[in-house]
Amino acid sequence: MKLTKQEVEKIAKLSRLELTEAEKELYANQLTKVLDYVDKLKEINTENVPITAQVTGLENVYRGDEIDQCDFQKDLINQSTEHEDNLIKTKSVF
């Protein structure tokens, strides 16, 4: 599938790229090679191939969410300039 100059210009416009004439020709050839390779991959029979999400075998490691008690929590809160009900007051974020 050979990309035309007009198709490359449309892709460049959508990507907000300003291309020279030489770049348009270069990218037309390169993108054509990529699309030809994808067409070649479509010919492969993948009917009995299981779906693969990742190939490394690694899994996420989760840790339980445990609350540790802080011995000096009240001292830290009292050091703040403004506090109320064992909470530190801050300026509004929004």
The per-residue pLDDT for 29 is 93
Using CA atoms, how far apart are residues 8 and 14, in angstroms rounded to an integer?
A: 10
Indicate whether this model's pTM tops 0.75: no
What confidence score (pLDDT) does residue 26 get? 93
Pairing of strands 83-84, 87-88: antiparallel
The two tokens of residue 44 are 């492969």
Q: What is the pLDDT of residues 30-79, one digit of tens each?
A: 999 999 999 998 899 989 988 888 888 888 888 888 888 778 888 888 89
Is residue 25 scored above 80 in pLDDT?
Answer: yes
**Token match 């445990």: residue?**
66
Q: Does 1 score more than 80 pLDDT?
A: no
Cβ atoms within 10 Å of 24's Cβ, excluding its own: 19
Structural domain spans, the chain: 5-42
Give the C-alpha separation, 44 to 37, whole Å. 12
The sign of the dihedral angle between the CA atoms of 50, 52, 56, 62 is: negative
Which CATH code for domain 5-42?
1.10.20
